[in-house]
Amino acid sequence: MNSAWWNLRLRYQGVIPPEPRTDQHLDPAAKKHIPADIPYMNYYVALLLEFQIFEALCIAKGHTGQLHTCDLYRSREAGRILSEAMQVGKARHWKDVIRMITKGKSDSFSVKAILKYFQPLQQWLHVQNANEEIIGWNTNEEDTMLFQPLHSRSTVIKQSLFLTMIGAALLF
């Protein structure tokens, strides 16, 4: 299981373990969400709802133009709507709260706002990716490593001290 964890980390994040790891280790447990059984879906849904709420508040403020240029600073109407929604707490179903924030225009989950917000970036990236070399990382551990793996604890300590001394020398 540990090797599968590090393969996913390399593939999606471009990182490798700081020292050799085996399946005898259980590195995924260091991420609090895994042993606590906290679903990541909560974060995903929350992020999308944030953009949906942001768009509704921008509309209430009277913002015109692209969504990413909306500034809610000092908007009394946006503040009032958000305050009313927050006061409800868990007393009402989330669909009712969305309906309240959007002034009845929606009571469902939507990804349209996040797509609208990042649309200028998506267009820019499309042009960049068409005209430029795509930059990323290899999904090969040997190609990703900056240094050879450190195999003994004493070597790690010696090299850490050496790098610390070099860093200190560069600062002073």
Q: What is the pLDDT of residues 15-65, one digit of tens each?
A: 888 888 899 999 999 888 888 888 888 888 999 999 999 999 999 999 999
**Section 61-89 average pLDDT:** 96
Question: What pLDDT, on the 0 to 100 scale, is given for residue 145?
Answer: 62
Question: How many alpha carbons lie under 13 Å from residue 92 in its C-beta half-sphere?
Answer: 14
Q: What is the pLDDT of residues 105-162, one digit of tens each?
A: 998 889 999 999 999 999 998 898 888 877 777 666 666 665 555 544 444 444 444 5
Question: What pLDDT, on the 0 to 100 scale, is given for residue 71?
Answer: 97
Angle at 141 between CA 167 and CA 168, to 5 degrees: 5
Question: What pLDDT, on the 0 to 100 scale, is given for residue 18?
Answer: 86
More confident residue, 163 or 13: 13
Question: What pLDDT, on the 0 to 100 scale, is given for residue 142?
Answer: 67
Q: Classify each residue of 17-26 as buried b or exposed e, where b means 16 or more C-beta atoms within 10 Å of its C-beta.
A: beeebeeebe
Question: What pLDDT, on the 0 to 100 scale, is given for residue 16?
Answer: 87
More confident residue, 171 or 120: 120
**Section 85-90 average pLDDT:** 93
Question: What pLDDT, on the 0 to 100 scale, is given for residue 164?
Answer: 52
* 61: its two tokens: 């403020």
DSSP string, the chain: -HHHHHHHHHHHH----SS---TTS-GGGGSTTTTTT--THHHHHHHHHHHHHHHHHHHHHT--S-GGG---TT-HHHHHHHHHHHHHTTSS-HHHHHHHHTTTS--S--SHHHHHHTHHHHHHHHHHHHHSPPP---S-HHHH-SSPPP-SHHHHHHHHHHHHHHHHHHH-
* 85: its two tokens: 């929604």
Contact yes or no for 4/133 (Cβ under 8 A):
no
Q: Give one word for 14, left, alpha or beta, with left for phi > 0 and alpha for psi -120 to 50.
A: left
Question: What pLDDT, on the 0 to 100 scale, is given for residue 23?
Answer: 92
Q: Which of 80, 73, 91, 81 is nearest to 53 (CA)?
A: 81
Q: Give one word for 61, left, alpha or beta, with left for phi > 0 and alpha for psi -120 to 50.
A: alpha
